[in-house]
Amino acid sequence: MTLEMLIGLFGGLGLFVFGMHMMSEGLKTVAGTKMKKLLEVLTNNKVKAVLVGTVVTMIVQSSSTTTVMVVGFVNAALMTLTQAAGVILGANIGTTVTAQLIAFNVSELAPVFIGIGALVTLFSKKKKNRDVGSIVLGFGILFFGIATMSTAMEPLRESKDFIYLLSTYGKNPFLGVLIGTLITGVIQSSSASIGLLQALALSGVFVSIGGTGAIQICIPILIGTNIGTCITALLSCIGTSTTAKKAAFIHLFVNVFGAVWVMILLVAMDSTMAVNPVYEFIVSISGTFINTNGEVVPNVARQIAMAHTFFNVANTLVLFPLIGYFVAFLDRTFPEKEEEKGLQLDDRLLNNPSIALGQVVKEMNRLAEMSTTNFRVACESVMKGNEKLVEEIIKREERIDEFQGGIVEYSVKLSNENMSEEENDRLAFVLKGSHDLERIGDHAMNIGELTEMRSTSKISFSDIANQEVLDLMSLTSNTLQDMVELLLTDEITLCYKILDKEEEIDEMTEKLKDDHISRLNQGICNPFAGVIFLDLLTNIERVGDHASNIAQGILGLKLHQGLITQSEFDYEMKEETE
């Protein structure tokens, strides 16, 4: 193999991988919301899980990427292990689409795709059109890479030594599996490895072998690529939860088990039959094509694509009834430790911004639940003088700060990814809203500190003051519950309800302050108790302000989405300051 050939092969492979990456990124941006919906409808039904795995992998164009995503989903508690197993089975089927596309050999049209894609990407004003342009451009670059590799390897078809090596050692199934595994382990993409093999076929190297010899050489290499692609998932599970590690091992089991039973079957058939019917069938349905010399030759590139598809479909059918038992075995052997779930954000999800954003929103909802709970507990502690509850408040406040910091850090990373305008608006809301939720937690802490002051100084409120502040706390707690529901549902009517309640909180707070000053003037209240009482009112009122900020943020999103008019927005808005 000459230096010129190596350079051509290296450059072509680079173009192929880059084109596949560009096409994949464009598809993920355009179909990101659909991918998110697919995951949301995913249930324990294994058939649905397999279908989702197939469709998602067709979009991202890589089973390795899908499996790494699955590890991230499991680690982020977005997906159960049973669901992950089904998706992994489907991913192996979905990745065969790339090979089928390559087999069409539309390399002559690659410059057309590149030209159209570049024009749309560079000159279109609409982001959605630019994303579609990047898909077309990536598609063209992918095929140009295939053409470059195929052209670089054309001299090999005239090399008697290379043909001899293929004919003599290429049919060794174990050597083929090893080669496929090693190449894919290095490249980190089974699609790229198979693309390389198809480029070799398109160069005409297999023409002189004839019959079923070519596919007999290629199938073990194909099976090896499935094993090699597991390395990516195994590396990605380092430092994850036990369940995420089990998801990576399921991927390894699926592909190694498939390699073992298929190779045993094929070797047994080779040794007992004059012509292997599996090879014969694949050759017969793959047809022929006219090569650059004008010769009608077997379409080995299509044979590779068909063999790849049949292997993964057959392996899925065989493993489908068995995979549940393997999951149960893993659960028994490596039980998950019972511990409180921390922040469920995983950098692997950043490859799919729509899904990553959905997970950030879920974690923001958890933050809202924690902040609401801490406010409720703080109110209980100060009214009952229960100092033991303060320890609970402090512990939860630490988690609130940790969550808010993690959400902000992750959101900043996510902001650098390619997202739609609507998704960018939602992310901006998350950044602002998480700050409001963290401040609610801070006010709960302040109320907890008032509990200690009240208990230490043995201060009590008058019956009237007690009832008044309990009413205010109840109104504010109900407002926070509406806020939590709003974050889950995005219901516009809840926004208006929260804004009305916040105005009621403000009015009630002012009235309580006036009543308190009146009681002080009459000598009914203890002045020091009055300081604590006023501090308590201020913190409760501020909590209402932050709930109002969340409602205003949702209304802002609805305005950008065209679901409410500017006049409706302006009518409801009022300046909120702390």
Distance CA 445, CA 395 (A): 10
Q: Which amino acid is at 184?
A: T
**Alpha carbons within 13 A on the beta-carbon side of 555:** 24
- With CA atoms as reference, report the closest residue to 291 among 105, 159, 139, 146: 105
Percentage above 90 pLDDT, the chain: 27
Query: If you search the block for the tokens 């203890």, which residue do you land on?
Result: 526
Q: Do 325 and 333 form a contact (C-beta atoms < 8 A)?
A: no
Percentage above 70 pLDDT, the chain: 87
Q: How far apart are the first and last CA of the chain?
A: 73
* Phi and psi at residue 288, to the nearest 5°: -130, 170
Q: Where is pLDDT greater, at 483 or 456?
A: 483
**Alpha carbons within 13 A on the beta-carbon side of 350:** 13
Distance CA 509, CA 323 (A): 60
Q: What is the pLDDT of residue 571?
A: 56
* Burial annotation 301-331 (CB, 10 A radius, 16+ → b, else e): bbbbbbbbbbbbeebbeebeeebeebbeebe
- Confidence at 548, pLDDT banded by 50, 70, 90: very high
Q: Where is pLDDT greater, at 113 or 522?
A: 113
With a cut of 60, say whether residue 127 has pLDDT above it: yes
Distance CA 53, CA 323 (A): 15
Specify the 3-state DSSP secondary structure of 79. coil
Residue 73's alpha-carbon distances to 81, 205, 328, in angstroms, are 10, 42, 19
Structure tokens at 192: 């790229």
Q: Which of 27-36, 299-308, 476-485 has the lowest mean pLDDT?
A: 27-36
Q: If you ran DSSP here, which 8-state letter would residue 334 be given?
A: S
Distance CA 125, CA 146 (A): 31
Summarised one tens digit per residue, pLDDT across range 14-67 is 888 888 878 877 776 776 666 666 665 655 577 888 888 888 888 776 676 677
- With CA atoms as reference, report the closest residue to 299 among 275, 276, 312, 282: 282
Structure tokens at 135: 């898909």
With a cut of 90, say whether residue 550 has pLDDT above it: yes
Mean of the pLDDT values across residues 384-408? 88
Summarised one tens digit per residue, pLDDT across range 286-298 is 887 776 666 677 8
- With CA atoms as reference, report the closest residue to 395 among 375, 374, 368: 374
Supply the mean pLDDT for the chain. Answer: 83
Q: Which of 201-210, 251-260, 302-311, 414-423 has the lowest mean pLDDT?
A: 201-210
Q: What is the pLDDT of residue 457?
A: 67
Q: Do 149 and 16 form a contact (C-beta atoms < 8 A)?
A: yes
With a cut of 50, say whether residue 99 has pLDDT above it: yes
Q: At 360, which helix (H) or strand (E)?
A: helix 353-384
- Confidence at 533, pLDDT banded by 50, 70, 90: confident
With a cut of 50, say whether residue 302 has pLDDT above it: yes
CA 19 and chain centroid, separation: 22
CA 171 and chain centroid, separation: 40
- With CA atoms as reference, report the closest residue to 241 among 346, 320, 153, 127: 346
pTM recorded for the entire structure: 0.61
Summarised one tens digit per residue, pLDDT across range 318-373 is 998 888 888 888 888 877 654 446 677 878 778 778 888 888 998 999 999 999 99
Q: Which amino acid is at 479?
A: T
- Confidence at 385, pLDDT banded by 50, 70, 90: confident
Q: Is the dihedral of CA 563, 569, 572, 576 positive or negative?
A: positive
Mean of the pLDDT values across residues 266-273? 89
With a cut of 50, say whether residue 578 has pLDDT above it: no
Q: At 289, which helix (H) or strand (E)?
A: strand 288-290
Q: Do 217 and 201 form a contact (C-beta atoms < 8 A)?
A: no
* Phi and psi at residue 104, to the nearest 5°: -70, -20
Q: What is the pLDDT of residue 428?
A: 93
In three-state form (DSSP H/G/I as H, E/B as E, the rest C), the secondary structure along 121-166 is HHHCCCHHHHHHHHHHHHHHHHHHHHHHHHHHHHHHHHCHHHHHHH
Distance CA 366, CA 360 (A): 10
Q: What is the pLDDT of residue 77?
A: 63
Q: At 288, which helix (H) or strand (E)?
A: strand 288-290
Distance CA 330, CA 13 (A): 38
With a cut of 80, say whether residue 437 has pLDDT above it: yes
Summarised one tens digit per residue, pLDDT across range 142-173 is 889 888 888 888 787 777 777 777 777 777 88
Distance CA 413, CA 408 (A): 9
With a cut of 90, say whether residue 445 has pLDDT above it: yes
Residue 247's alpha-carbon distances to 268, 305, 504, in angstroms, are 32, 27, 51
Q: What is the pLDDT of residue 340?
A: 47
